[in-house]
C-alpha cells in the first residue's frame, strides 16, 4: 500500500501541476512498513487556494496516457483498486471500478435490490457515453476535502492519492460528494478546461464507486445511498 502511494505521489509530482509532498523514504523492516513524506505546514484552504487548485487540477488532467488505468494496482482507502489498462473507458469503469465493488459488496452480504438494480445499470452504462468519449487523464483518484489543503504560502497541496488515468470528470465529481470545495474552485476549473455536456449526470455515476467503497469499508449506513444513486442513474437512461 505504501509503495503504491509513493508511486502515485511521484506520478502527480511529475505532472508539475499541483503540489504534493515529496517522498523521502518508503520501505519495510523489523516487521513494520513506513512511508516518510516531506513535512508541509498545512492550513485550511481559502478561496484563493480553491481557485488555484481548480486551475492547476485542470493542468494536471492534461497529462494523459494512451489507455485507461495505470502501471500498477493501488488502494482506495484500504480497498484494493484494480488498474489493469484498457483502451475502453466504459469497460474499465464497469469492470475495474463498479463491478469489483459490487462483487465485494455481495461477499459482504449486500445483495437483493442493490445487486439487481446494479446489474441493469452495468448493462446500460455505455449509454452515458454515447456522445462523450473521455481521454485518459492523470487523476488524484480520491479527491475529497480531507485530501487537500493550503501550504505555508496559501498554495494548494494534495495528498493521499489513489492515482490512475481515467476520465477527469471522476476527480471533479468526488469533490462534490462530501462538499468542502468552493465556487472559486469550480469556476477556475471551468475557465481552464470546461466540462462536457452531461457531466452533472456522470457525477452520480462516478460517485457511485466511492459510495460502494464506503459501504464495503464502513457498513450498511451507505446502502440506501448506493441504491438511490443507482435508481437516479437508471432514470436517466
Q: Which residues are catalytic?
A: 142
For residue 166, what pLDDT is reported?
A: 98
CA of 179: how far to CAs of 146, 176, 232, in Å?
A: 10, 5, 20
| CATH number of the domain encompassing residue 12 | 3.90.1200.10
For residue 174, what pLDDT is reported?
A: 98
Three-class DSSP category at 206:
helix
Placement of cell 498554495 in the chain: 155
Helix pair angle (112-124, 100-107), 10° resolution? 170
91 — pLDDT class (breaks 50, 70, 90) = very high
Residues 92-127: pLDDT tens digits? 999 999 999 999 999 999 999 999 999 999 999 999
For residue 111, what pLDDT is reported?
A: 94
For residue 70, what pLDDT is reported?
A: 98
Q: Which domain holds residue 26?
A: 2-236
C-alpha cell of residue 209: 464507486
C-alpha–C-alpha distance, residues 188 and 173, integer Å: 15
Give this prediction's pTM: 0.97
66 — pLDDT class (breaks 50, 70, 90) = very high
52, with CB counted inside 10 A (0-12, 13-18, 19+), is buried
C-alpha–C-alpha distance, residues 97 and 90, integer Å: 10
Residues 11-40: pLDDT tens digits? 999 999 999 999 999 999 999 999 999 999
For residue 110, what pLDDT is reported?
A: 97
72 — pLDDT class (breaks 50, 70, 90) = very high
**Count: domains in the chain:** 1
**Which residues have a Cβ under 8 Å from the Cβ of 185 and sit 6 or more positions away?**
50, 51, 53, 54, 175
176 — pLDDT class (breaks 50, 70, 90) = very high
C-alpha–C-alpha distance, residues 206 and 173, integer Å: 7
Amino acid at each position: 500500500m505504501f509503495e503504491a502511494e509513493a508511486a502515485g505521489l511521484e506520478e502527480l509530482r511529475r505532472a508539475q501541476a499541483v503540489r504534493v509532498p515529496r517522498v523521502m523514504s518508503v520501505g519495510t523492516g523489523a516487521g513494520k512498513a513506513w512511508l516518510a513524506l516531506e513535512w508541509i505546514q498545512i492550513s485550511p484552504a481559502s478561496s484563493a487556494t480553491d481557485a488555484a487548485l481548480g486551475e492547476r487540477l485542470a493542468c494536471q488532467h492534461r497529462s494523459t496516457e494512451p489507455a485507461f488505468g495505470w502501471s500498477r494496482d493501488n488502494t482506495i482507502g484500504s480497498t484494493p483498486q484494480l488498474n489493469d489498462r484498457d483502451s475502453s473507458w466504459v469497460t474499465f469503469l464497469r469492470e475495474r471500478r463498479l463491478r469489483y465493488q459490487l462483487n465485494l459488496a455481495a461477499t459482504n452480504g449486500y445483495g437483493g435490490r442493490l445487486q439487481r438494480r446494479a446489474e441493469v445499470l452495468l448493462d446500460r452504462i455505455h449509454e452515458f457515453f454515447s456522445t462523450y468519449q473521455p481521454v485518459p487523464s492523470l487523476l488524484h483518484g480520491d479527491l475529497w476535502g480531507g485530501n487537500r489543503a493550503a501550504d505555508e504560502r496559501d498554495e494548494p497541496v494534495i495528498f493521499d492519492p489513489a492515482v490512475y488515468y481515467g476520465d477527469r470528470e471522476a476527480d471533479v465529481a468526488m469533490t462534490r460528494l462530501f462538499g468542502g470545495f468552493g465556487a472559486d474552485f469550480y469556476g477556475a476549473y471551468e475557465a481552464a478546461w470546461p466540462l462536457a455536456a452531461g457531466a452533472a449526470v456522470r457525477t452520480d455515476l462516478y460517485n457511485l464507486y466511492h459510495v460502494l467503497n464506503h459501504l464495503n469499508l464502513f457498513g450498511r449506513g451507505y446502502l440506501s445511498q448506493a441504491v438511490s444513486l443507482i435508481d437516479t442513474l437508471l432514470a436517466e437512461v
